[in-house]
């Protein structure tokens, strides 16, 4: 028997406004510095709590990811196991974010699942405990759980909350999947950018150390970036493939979207330092 239905849990996109690769560690991971900000655009999840212990996912995806490999299902089972819970959940995913686009879609879905079910199952875990669980699912999951724009260091696990300008963005999603693992394993990836103090970084010109490599490897990314640079300061987010242009007003971003070639797909969204997921949780 279903116990409750809870609708409209956002899994927002994020942008890496800059990304520096400082070096490679002995364990193969890379030392990074990056600046995360959320967007007021993303996937949406609905939850129905059940008493049968089963985790069931319904989505508008084409079935390209088996349920057991989906981060949403993994997150739900991870929390269920950690809390020794007997409750289950039916989960509906309205997928809007591109997969493999560098905007954090899968990680954000996992974080929203952990945050929502922690509340709905009444597990009582705090954000640090949820983030520790999230880190076992993916390096970016904790940033979505903490829900505030942040400067990240180390392998992405050292987070420092920041408040930065909330611009409007046009995000273009080239029709290509970029493997983060392949980018970081590539011999031509720059790995020697000196570390910069946050205070210095906030007044510097931002760049993405992965951008040239990915643009050279994927003409679709290079083409989207070249077009967007004609209209606004533009960069690639994360390891790609999405690129974004920065605008001062929504209308400027929408005007650029209207000129976008039909071969591209994209969306306009506002940067936000507080995640829409946090606002949803506060309404509970």
The radius of gyration of the chain's CA atoms, rounded to the nearest angstrom, is 19
- Hey, what's the torsion of the CAs at 142, 184, 78, 1, to 10 degrees? 90
CB contact set of 105 (below 8 Å; sequence gap of 6+)? 11, 13, 42, 43, 95, 97, 98, 99
- C-alpha to C-alpha distance for 122 and 119, rounded to whole angstroms: 5
Catalytic residues: 14, 140
Q: Please give the Cα distance from 261 to 263 (Å, whole number).
A: 5
CB atoms within 10 A of CB 188: 9
56: helix, strand or coil: strand
3-class SS string, 241-273: CCEEEEECCHHHHHHHHHHCCCCCCEEEEEEEC
């Amino acid at each position: 028997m279903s116990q409750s239905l809870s609708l409209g849990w956002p899994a927002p996109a994020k942008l890496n406004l800059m990304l520096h690769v400082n070096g490679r560690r002995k364990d193969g991971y890379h030392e990074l510095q990056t600046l995360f900000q959320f967007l007021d655009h993303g996937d949406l999840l609905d939850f129905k709590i059940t008493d049968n212990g089963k985790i069931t996912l319904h989505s508008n995806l084409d079935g390209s990811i088996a349920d057991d490999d989906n981060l949403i299902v993994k997150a739900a089972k991870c929390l269920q196991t950690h809390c020794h819970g007997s409750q289950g959940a039916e989960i509906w995913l309205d997928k809007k974010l591109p997969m493999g686009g560098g905007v954090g879609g899968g990680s954000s879905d996992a974080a929203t699942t952990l945050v929502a079910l922690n509340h709905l199952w009444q597990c009582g875990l705090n954000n640090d405990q949820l983030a520790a669980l999230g880190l076992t699912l993916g390096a970016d999951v904790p940033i979505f759980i903490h829900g505030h724009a942040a400067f990240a260091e180390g392998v992405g696990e050292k987070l420092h909350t920041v408040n930065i300008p909330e611009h409007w963005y046009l995000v273009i999603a080239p029709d290509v999947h970029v493997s983060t693992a392949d980018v970081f394993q590539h011999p031509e990836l720059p790995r020697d950018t000196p570390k910069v103090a946050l205070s210095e970084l906030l007044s510097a010109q931002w760049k993405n150390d992965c951008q040239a490599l990915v643009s050279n490897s994927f003409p679709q990314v290079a083409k989207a970036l070249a077009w967007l640079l004609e209209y606004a300061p533009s960069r690639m987010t994360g390891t790609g493939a999405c690129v974004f242009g920065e605008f001062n007003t929504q209308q400027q971003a929408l005007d650029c979207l209207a000129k976008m070639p039909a071969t591209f797909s994209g969306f306009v969204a506002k940067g936000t330092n507080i995640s829409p997921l946090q606002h949803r949780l506060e309404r509970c």
